[in-house]
């Protein structure tokens, strides 16, 4: 075995170094700038400590702050360790358990000695964390034997850690990271020392309960959450975003605008109020027009279908725990006759529409002349999500997809996908989302079909994206290796909202498998039977979640064509009441949703109230307006008002309330 290793660097050069050289030493040899900036290393793709010796020929890349995703993950994990050390310093006797990084920071689960932690403890813990960071102790990786680890944890009264050390799988190297005297059992990697952390780029955010190993039969632990970043600027931006997101929370705005409610007795299913339902219907009508114009044909398929169909489609095997299953019988109350009618066969509420759409496709003999066949459904589906996973109207159990399936020949995949991309682009831009990212998810490890089929399928989607102009930089195009579905590659469309958050909404999935499983075929030009390809596609995803996103994106200030109450006519004096009625009638006749506010209240009070309810246009009328036949229009969020003749005001609002696809 040679004692010289060949280490290849990202620029293509190869360095010969002695076995046991560390990435930190190589970074230093390249230059002092890199040595200073270095945070960790990627060794043959694996993220590792800077000071972990190299033991074989490898590709090496030095990770710096510029590799933001890696850097964030590293610092967050480090913050978690520092948090744990700080807590044990301030609260001796606290046991440590487990503390990973999260999407915006980190948490750590503790078993406190006397009492669970509270938010009041957080400032002192933050201070202690800053002291630990300032001490700048090296974080040293050590490999321990299981027996030593267990003995150490038991000696320190760390029963959770001891239990975990005993349960770790055989054959795995057991490592600890030591900062001075303090250590935690961990796979790593970590930064070289605590001083690499910015002491002003983290904040502890909250405390909650959590069960040991996520199991509610286990001990309740005290979890401390924090958010952690590379620098203070990033932290501040994040905190502002959180504040802004809280202001825009769709649950809060939903209440202020009287759009919907949720209640205990129907977990995860939405009660739409008149205002919210109006918004839904405006969106649905808009989409329906867009789909009709794009050659889709709308259908409606059953909610309840026999388990046999779900067995054939494969959902019964793979998706059953997410399905609401219903016995096909009427249960009796008499113990001697537990079943009044039915034979007890099982049915299920549909969790997706695809198998039903294939049933429609299969009626009669389809010919190549029928293709492409685009079947659309605003399909109401049910999925049995655990209560804890539900979130407002964003994550629900009863959901309505803007679903469609395109049955086509292989030759039609590119043109159909391209047409879909163009439709989606038009719809997103009409709905106020100018920015979105496009991703292509490629073949997963476990898949149906041979490589030639996947080569063609992935190539077709790429070609369609190219033709639709989506490979442009503007769309941050990215390929996701291994993330396609079992049955085919897929496209994902991620919207960016007004405060920079992203939401995956649109999708198109190529599927060769389901038509085969459910025996769908068409007769080709040469008279042979062929399988159609199936494109599963959605643009909004689900109405519920998309309306939630719309609410948060617009902060409830919808464009006029989507606003549930488009105008309110508010009087200054009661003498103007009859005229206010005339104004409302004129607006209604023009197809606008208008209300009157004739209450005996000060106009400023009325303005404030309708602003809170996010009414886009307030038409103020007093004696003078009544005499002149005018209205004073006040726009939401503006202190200005504009006096216009009634007919002109109505014409303007009408033009503005026209959905974008119907504008001249």
- Write down the least CB distance from residue 81 to Zn ion, Å: 5
The CA–CA distances, whole Å, from 65 to 118, 130, 217, 233, 236 equal 33, 20, 42, 14, 18
Regarding 354 and contact with Zn ion (CB under 5 A), the answer is: yes
- Write down the least CB distance from residue 321 to Zn ion, Å: 19
**Catalytic residue flag (residue 403):** yes
- Write down the least CB distance from residue 379 to Zn ion, Å: 9
Q: What whole-number distance in Å separates Cα of residue 249 and Cα of residue 261? A: 14
- Write down the least CB distance from residue 354 to Zn ion, Å: 3
Are residues 629 and 646 in contact, defined by beta-carbon separation less than 8 angstroms?
A: yes
Sequence-separated (6 or more) residues with CB below 8 Å from residue 25: 17
For residue 117, count other CB atoms closer than 10 A to its CB.
19
Interface segment toward Zn ion; rule CB under 5 A; list 312-320, 352-360, 385-393, 488-496: 352-360
Regarding 315 and contact with Zn ion (CB under 5 A), the answer is: no
Interface segment toward Zn ion; rule CB under 5 A; list 21-29, 336-344, 346-354, 594-602: 346-354
* Sign, CA torsion 18/24/26/28: negative
Cis check for the bond before 302: say yes or no (omega within 30 of 0).
no
- Largest Cα–Cα separation, the chain: 101
CB closer to Zn ion, 76 vs 203:
76
Length of the chain: 664
Regarding 350 and contact with Zn ion (CB under 5 A), the answer is: no
- Write down the least CB distance from residue 200 to Zn ion, Å: 22
Are residues 179 and 190 in contact, defined by beta-carbon separation less than 8 angstroms?
A: no
Q: Which of residues 624-663 bind Zn ion (CB under 5 A)?
A: none
- Write down the least CB distance from residue 176 to Zn ion, Å: 9
Regarding 374 and contact with Zn ion (CB under 5 A), the answer is: no
- Of the residues 76, 278, 405, 537, only one is catalytic, namely 405
Cis check for the bond before 189: say yes or no (omega within 30 of 0).
yes
Interface segment toward Zn ion; rule CB under 5 A; list 231-239, 296-304, 353-361, 490-498: 353-361
CB closer to Zn ion, 133 vs 618:
133
Are residues 545 and 400 in contact, defined by beta-carbon separation less than 8 angstroms?
A: no
Count of residues interacting with Zn ion (CB under 5 A): 3
Give residue 427's Cα distance to chain centre: 20
Regarding 513 and contact with Zn ion (CB under 5 A), the answer is: no
CB closer to Zn ion, 505 vs 594:
505
- Of the residues 109, 190, 381, 401, only one is catalytic, namely 401
Structure tokens at 284: 């649905």
Q: Which of residues 535-554 bind Zn ion (CB under 5 A)?
A: 536
**Catalytic residue flag (residue 408):** no
β-pairing, 533-542 vs 502-511, is antiparallel
Q: Which of residues 168-207 bind Zn ion (CB under 5 A)?
A: 186
**Which residue's CB comes closest to Zn ion?**
186
- Write down the least CB distance from residue 548 to Zn ion, Å: 22
CB closer to Zn ion, 72 vs 621:
72
Exposed, middle or buried by CB within 10 Å (0-12, 13-18, 19+), for 163? middle
- Write down the least CB distance from residue 244 to Zn ion, Å: 32
- Write down the least CB distance from residue 104 to Zn ion, Å: 18
Q: What whole-number distance in Å separates Cα of residue 75 and Cα of residue 39? A: 9
DSSP string for 38-56: --EEEETTEEE-TTSPP-S
β-pairing, 630-635 vs 617-621, is antiparallel
CB closer to Zn ion, 315 vs 536:
536
- Write down the least CB distance from residue 177 to Zn ion, Å: 5
Closest CA to 299 of 203, 227, 376: 376
* Sign, CA torsion 246/247/248/251: positive
- Of the residues 76, 278, 290, 383, only one is catalytic, namely 383
Are residues 371 and 533 in contact, defined by beta-carbon separation less than 8 angstroms?
A: no
Q: What whole-number distance in Å separates Cα of residue 607 and Cα of residue 613? A: 10
**Catalytic residue flag (residue 19):** no
CA atoms within 13 A on the CB side of 241: 14
CB closer to Zn ion, 511 vs 544:
511
**Catalytic residue flag (residue 405):** yes
- Write down the least CB distance from residue 296 to Zn ion, Å: 14
**Catalytic residue flag (residue 337):** no
CB closer to Zn ion, 276 vs 532:
532
DSSP string for 311-347: HHHTHHHHHGGGS-EEEEEEE-SSTT-SEEEEEEEEE
Interface segment toward Zn ion; rule CB under 5 A; list 191-199, 235-243, 272-280, 534-542: 534-542
CB closer to Zn ion, 54 vs 354:
354
Q: What whole-number distance in Å separates Cα of residue 98 and Cα of residue 184? A: 9
CB closer to Zn ion, 225 vs 593:
225
Give the bridge partners for 641, in sequence order.
634
- Of the residues 354, 380, 421, 505, only one is catalytic, namely 354
Q: What whole-number distance in Å separates Cα of residue 539 and Cα of residue 536? A: 11
Regarding 514 and contact with Zn ion (CB under 5 A), the answer is: no
What is the layout of strands, in order, in the sheet containing 95-98? 95-98, 105-111, 220-228, 202-211
Q: Which of residues 568-587 bind Zn ion (CB under 5 A)?
A: none
- Of the residues 121, 402, 403, 430, only one is catalytic, namely 403
Q: What whole-number distance in Å separates Cα of residue 590 and Cα of residue 583? A: 11
CB closer to Zn ion, 26 vs 176:
176
Q: What whole-number distance in Å separates Cα of residue 592 and Cα of residue 587? A: 5
- Of the residues 366, 536, 606, 634, only one is catalytic, namely 536
CB closer to Zn ion, 179 vs 580:
179
Q: Which residues bind Zn ion (CB under 5 A)?
A: 186, 354, 536
Q: Catalogue the active-site residues.
A: 354, 383, 401, 403, 405, 490, 536
């Amino acid at each position: 075995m040679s004692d010289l290793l060949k280490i290849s660097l990202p620029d293509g050069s190869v360095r010969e170094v002695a076995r046991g050289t560390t990435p930190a030493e190589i970074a230093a040899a390249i230059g002092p700038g890199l040595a200073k900036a270095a945070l960790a290393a990627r060794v043959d793709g694996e993220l590792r400590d800077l000071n972990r010796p190299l033991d074989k020929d490898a590709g090496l890349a030095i990770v710096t702050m510029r590799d933001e995703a890696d850097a964030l993950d590293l610092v967050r994990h480090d913050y978690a360790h520092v948090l744990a050390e700080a807590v044990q310093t301030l609260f001796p006797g606290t046991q440590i358990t487990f503390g990973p990084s999260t999407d915006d920071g980190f948490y750590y689960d503790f078993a406190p000695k006397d009492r669970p932690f509270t938010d009041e403890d957080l400032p002192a813990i933050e201070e202690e964390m800053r002291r630990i960071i300032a001490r700048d102790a090296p974080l040293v990786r050590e490999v321990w034997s299981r027996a030593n680890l267990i003995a150490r944890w038991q000696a320190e009264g760390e029963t959770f850690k001891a239990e975990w050390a005993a349960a770790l799988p055989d054959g795995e190297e057991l490592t600890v990271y030591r900062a001075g005297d303090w250590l935690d059992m961990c796979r790593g990697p970590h930064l070289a020392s605590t001083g690499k952390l910015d002491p002003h780029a983290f904040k502890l955010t909250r405390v909650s309960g959590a069960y040991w190993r996520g199991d509610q039969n286990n001990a309740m632990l005290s979890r401390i959450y924090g958010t952690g970043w590379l620098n203070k600027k990033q932290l501040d931006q994040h905190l502002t975003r959180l504040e802004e997101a809280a202001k825009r929370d769709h649950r809060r705005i939903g209440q202020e605008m009287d759009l919907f409610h949720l209640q205990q007795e129907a977990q995860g299913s939405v009660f739409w109020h008149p205002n919210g339902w109006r918004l839904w219907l405006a969106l649905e009508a808009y989409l329906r027009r867009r789909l009709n114009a794009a050659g889709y044909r709308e259908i409606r398929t059953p909610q309840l279908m026999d388990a046999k169909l779900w067995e054939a489609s494969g959902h019964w095997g793979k998706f059953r725990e997410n399905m609401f299953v219903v016995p096909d019988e009427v249960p009796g109350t008499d113990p001697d006759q537990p079943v009044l009618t039915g034979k007890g066969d099982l049915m299920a509420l549909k969790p997706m529409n695809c198998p039903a759409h294939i049933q429609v496709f299969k009626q009669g003999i389809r010919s190549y002349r029928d293709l492409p066949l685009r079947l659309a459904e605003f399909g109401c589906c049910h999925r049995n999500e655990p209560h804890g996973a539900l979130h407002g109207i964003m994550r629900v159990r009863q959901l309505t997809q803007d679903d469609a399936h395109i049955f086509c020949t292989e030759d039609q995949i590119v043109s159909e996908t391209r047409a879909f991309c163009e439709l989606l682009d038009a719809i997103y831009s009409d709905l106020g989302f100018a920015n979105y990212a496009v991703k292509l998810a490629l073949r997963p490890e476990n898949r149906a079909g041979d490589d030639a089929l996947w080569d063609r399928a992935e190539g077709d989607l790429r070609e369609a994206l190219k033709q639709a102009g989506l490979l442009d930089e503007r769309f941050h195009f990215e390929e996701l290796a291994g993330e396609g579905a079992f049955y085919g590659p897929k496209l994902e469309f991620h919207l960016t909202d007004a405060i920079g958050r992203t939401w995956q909404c649109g999708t198109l999935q190529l599927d060769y498998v389901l038509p085969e499983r459910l025996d769908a075929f068409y007769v080709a030009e040469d008279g042979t039977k062929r399988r159609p390809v199936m494109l599963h596609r959605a643009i909004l995803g689900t109405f519920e979640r998309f309306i939630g996103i719309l609410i948060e994106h617009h902060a409830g200030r919808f464009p006029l064509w989507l606003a549930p109450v488009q105008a309110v006519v508010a009087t200054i004096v009661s003498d103007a009441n009859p005229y206010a009625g005339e104004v409302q009638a004129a607006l209604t006749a023009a197809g606008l949703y208008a209300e009157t506010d004739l209450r005996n209240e000060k106009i400023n009070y009325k303005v404030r109230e309708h602003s809170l309810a996010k009414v886009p246009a307030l038409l103020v009328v007093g004696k003078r307006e009544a005499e002149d036949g005018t209205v004073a229009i006040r726009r939401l969020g503006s202190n200005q008002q504009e006096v216009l003749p009634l007919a002109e005001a109505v014409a303007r609002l009408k033009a503005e309330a026209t959905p974008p696809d119907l504008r001249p």
